[in-house]
Amino acid sequence: MVTPVLDELEVLVRALGLVYARQRDAILVEIEEDGERIGIAITYDEVSDTVRVAAPLDVEPLPEALSWYLEENFKSTTYKYALDYDGFVTVVYDLPRRYIRTARDLREAIVSVVSGAKRVLERVERREETEEGGETSS
């Protein structure tokens, strides 16, 4: 179902100059930062009147990393780490719709989610480098 709120969010995405695709009830954006491409899905839930900015990552958390995600969720005042149905990490930022009034508001949510995604990707890269070097990681 196409909602007027999603239409308004699409206008804000265009105002930010982002390349996007509209699919069903989501606006899909790809952000490239520091050579890393991060896909962002922007959705709206009518029942809770909430805008969700999410970055699904191709990262499966290792059991020893679960405590790190939990600690980060308690520290963060914006995004949270969640696991999707397939067990992959997704960075999620849910905001009441009234908090997204301008393109700048939406940009701040996107930047926050990208920051959370980069933290995960940096940890994965460090772990892979450590494994390749023959050392064990914690």
Its pTM stands at: 0.86
Instruction: Work out the number of other CB atoms within 10 angstroms of the CB of residue 120.
Output: 21
**Range from 87-91, 98-102, 122-126 carrying the lowest mean pLDDT:** 122-126
The answer to the question of residue 120 being in a domain is yes
Distance between CA atoms of residues 95 and 62, nearest Å: 29
Residue 95: inside a domain: yes
**Residue 24: inside a domain:** yes
Q: How many CA atoms lie within 13 A of 23 on its CB side?
A: 7
| Residue 138 located in a structural domain | no
Considering the domain boundaries, does residue 10 fall inside one?
A: yes
**What is the domain range of residue 56?**
4-132
Evaluate whether residue 137 is within a structural domain. Answer: no
The tally of domains found in the chain comes to 1
Task: Tell whether 89 is covered by a domain.
Answer: yes
Pairing of strands 89-96, 20-23: unpaired
| Residue 125 belongs to domain with CATH number | 3.30.1460.10
Using CA atoms, how far apart are residues 72 and 116, in angstroms rounded to an integer? 9
Summarised one tens digit per residue, pLDDT across range 40-80 is 999 999 999 999 999 999 998 888 888 999 999 999 999 99
Q: What would the pLDDT profile of 104-124 be if each residue is shown by its tens digit?
A: 999 999 999 999 999 999 888
